[in-house]
Structure 1
Amino acid sequence: MDEIALIKLNLQFFADEKTEKATPKKRDETRKKGQVPKSTDVNTSIMMLVVFLFLWMYGGSIIVSMFADMQREIFTNYLVEEVTPESVARLFLTVSTQALTAVLPLMLLAAIAGSFGSFIQVGAMFSTEPLKAKLNKLDPIKGFKRIFSARALVELSKSVLKISLVGTTVVIIIWTHLEEVMLLSQKSITDAMGVIGWLTIMMGLAVAILLMILSIPDYIYQRYDHEKQIRMSKKDIKDEHKNIEGDPRIKSKRKQKQMELAMQRMMQEIPNADVVITNPTHFAIVLKYDESKAEAPFVVAKGMDFSAQRIKKRAQEHGIPMVENRMLARALYHQTDIGQQVPADLFKAVAEVLAYVYRLKEKQSVGQNHRT
């Protein structure tokens, strides 16, 4: 491979290397696909915190009420019934309904807490893109690469760390209350269930707070990893710019076509103009004064260099007077657009030019009358 080919290959490599931050358009596209930085630990910790706080405040009354209703129903109705498949089915349905009634508020509270955890991370968003089946996920080679990728190793390290810390927290809580745990066999069922429930709530709250603390660095990492995943190469940015703005060559042709059409319209108006003010070579401004259209003279056409030469040639073909005034030509070219009236500070200079043109036309008409 020669040196030039090697240089081209290196340039192509650096052009395709994803080193640039994602553009707002790329961010919107990835968001619509459901690809957003999000830590599941935030959702889990908020859900656990809300659920165990609810159990801490109302769990005892819910359990007592559920068991009281269940015992009342069993001892009042089902204890005296004959054991048959139908009676067992009714008993199972009753117990399930009462348990579901007791657990349903807790499930709704957990769902609301999980939704709130997602909202504070990514805002309001709804996307069905992650639910679509993608055949490339079944590719064993890509799956193998994902398993042994750097991201997978980071996730494994995070999981091991969380399990270790959570396990340590649970062991510490049990160890500090070991005497109460050892005396459970000597307590009544109600007191034993109360101690077990209290320890469970303590462990749940401690784990929730621990996960909430761990979710902060995890969320920072997820944002970093997301930014890394959506990076773009210089070529990607150029291609996106082309798609938004259009191909520069096409834009150039379109602009050239618009200029040609504008020039054609100007050329069509020149035969009806009153005067052409020139630089004499660089600028040409065509003026017309029509009281029915405007109170002051207005610009019919203007051009510079090549366009100015075309305007002057067109004016000569139709006998439009040309007046050389360098300062006025420059001022009109820079201060007015086609269709605009002459600025007030140039009224006097333009009026003198038009007066000269009108006198010239009057002399020409008188001369023609004499010859006839």
Structure 2
Amino acid sequence: MAEHDEQERTEQPSEKRLREAREKGDVPRSRDLSGALVTIAGVAALMAAGPRAWSHAQRIYRLGLDYDRAALFAGGLPAHALGAAAREALLLFAPVALATMLAALGAPLLLGGWSFSAEALRPKPERLDPVAGLGRMLSLRGAVELGKSLLKLLFLGAALVLLLWHASAAMLATGRGAVGAGIAASLALLGRAALLFGALLALLGGIDALYQKFDHARRQRMTKQELRDESKETDGNPELKGRIRQVQFQLARRRMMQELPKADVVVTNPTHFAVALRYDDGRMRAPRVIAKGVDELALQIRRVAAEHRIPQVEAPPLARALYATTEIDREVPAALYVAVAQVLAYVYQLRQAAGQGAEPPVPPSPQVDPDLLGPYKE
């Protein structure tokens, strides 16, 4: 069942999935890489402070042997010796401790970054289940970790054995020389062995870091169904969103038809487009579009305009340009001011002629820049 589920996880993880995993403390980590950096930093700090560390070590050694008869019978010798030895030990190991601490803090930045998760600190009783623990040990990941540990042991052990075998003659020769020279040679060999150990561990850590990154990405992969479910949770159900858009459109259309009787003129195509304009020179800087529609909605706008005796002017280019450039309850663009002004002037003249019983004026034929027609040039 687990293998079948693993085969279905073919999709790359989403940002939400990775963020949730990070909040749970699930980030790629390589203990080998962190151990290698800490080892190299500690050995490098100790070797860099070699002469100074040697002098501190000598002082610690002398504190247990070098004292006079008066100090011996004074009574405070043990406390004085222990305090002095502690200070020397602190000075001896402070550079190493500082270097290893910085390495331990900096190692996570190379893979996954710093991550603090309170959830990772919560006790998990299921971890105490022996059956589940045995299952983890016998899982593919447990087998991989066991194989890595064995290979690492063999690799590092073989390398250190080769180093000691190569230096065996020099080590045997130290017994025939001076004590100081023998100690120095032994410490130098120990330093080289530690550096070799750290370098090899760094090599293994780099390989392990790549594997951990790959394994983390593999474990975070998602199924197609999980992606769909997450999309619904994040963006909402598509069916529900479509229903909401439909209701919003119906409400907007209802408000538009309620505002339509306030229009001064309806500019038509004459059959496909209808745009209702309103202008109040005391409250508006420019005419506004209060309703617009195409095909069936345009027919409805023309029908309502006829019921309320709102003038309708046939100006196909202007109607298409207004529909393409201006949203409802927005002012017409400056590029259409002249054309709209011609239509409004015609409406005012038409009303004046009707009030006086005179002949109606000639309808205008406003010119419009073809670039303003957008997708409605034809």
**TM tier relative to shorter chain:** 0.7 to 0.9
Residues 189, 95 of structure 1: CA spacing in aligned structure 2 closer, same or farther, 3 A cutoff?
farther
Choose from 280, 283, 291 the match for 2:273.
Answer: 283
Q: How does 1:19-168 map to 2 (within 5 A)?
A: 19-72=10-63, 74-76=65-67, 81=72, 91=81, 94-168=84-158
Q: How many residues align?
A: 355
CA distance in 2, matches of 1:97, 1:135: 45
CA distance in 1, matches of 2:209, 2:5: 30
Q: 1:194 Cα shift?
A: 2.2
Paired residues of 1:70 and 1:98 also in contact (CA < 8 A):
no
After TM superposition, the score normalised by the length of structure 2 is 0.82
Amino acid corresponding to residue 170 of structure 2 in structure 1: E
Q: How does 1:208-219 map to 2 (within 5 A)?
A: 208-219=198-209
Paired residues of 2:275 and 2:323 also in contact (CA < 8 A):
yes
Tell whether 2:340 aligns with 1:324.
no
Amino acid corresponding to residue 57 of structure 1 in structure 2: A
SS at match of 1:301: strand
Amino acid corresponding to residue 322 of structure 1 in structure 2: Q
- 1:4 is aligned to none
Choose from 172, 181, 188 the match for 1:198.
Answer: 188
- 1:7 is aligned to none
CA distance in 1, matches of 2:102, 2:203: 21
CA distance in 2, matches of 1:197, 1:280: 100
CA distance in 2, matches of 1:154, 1:227: 16
- 1:221 is aligned to 211
Q: Which moved more, 1:237-246 or 1:291-300?
A: 291-300
Q: Which moved more, 1:101-110 or 1:306-315?
A: 306-315
SS at match of 2:212: helix
Paired residues of 1:78 and 1:91 also in contact (CA < 8 A):
no
Amino acid corresponding to residue 42 of structure 1 in structure 2: L
CA distance in 1, matches of 2:69, 2:152: 47
Q: How does 1:214-293 map to 2 (within 5 A)?
A: 214-293=204-283
* Structure 2 gap ranges (5+): 359-378
CA distance in 2, matches of 1:202, 1:124: 32
Q: Which has the higher contact order (CA 8 A, sep 6+)?
A: 1
Q: Which moved more, 1:147-156 or 1:339-348?
A: 339-348
- 2:289 is aligned to 299
Q: 1:93 Cα shift?
A: 5.7
Cα deviation per residue 1:229-283 (whole Å; 9 max; x = unaligned)?
A: 1001111111222222122233223323332332233233222211112334432
Give identity over the alignment, percent.
35
Q: Which moved more, 1:176-185 or 1:41-50?
A: 176-185
Residues 244, 81 of structure 1: CA spacing in aligned structure 2 closer, same or farther, 3 A cutoff?
same
RMSD: 3.1
Cα deviation per residue 1:294-320 (whole Å; 9 max; x = unaligned)?
A: 454321211223433443343333221
SS at match of 1:122: coil
SS at match of 1:287: strand
Residues 83, 343 of structure 1: CA spacing in aligned structure 2 closer, same or farther, 3 A cutoff?
closer
Amino acid corresponding to residue 200 of structure 1 in structure 2: L
SS at match of 1:299: strand
Amino acid corresponding to residue 59 of structure 1 in structure 2: G
SS at match of 1:167: helix
SS at match of 1:285: strand
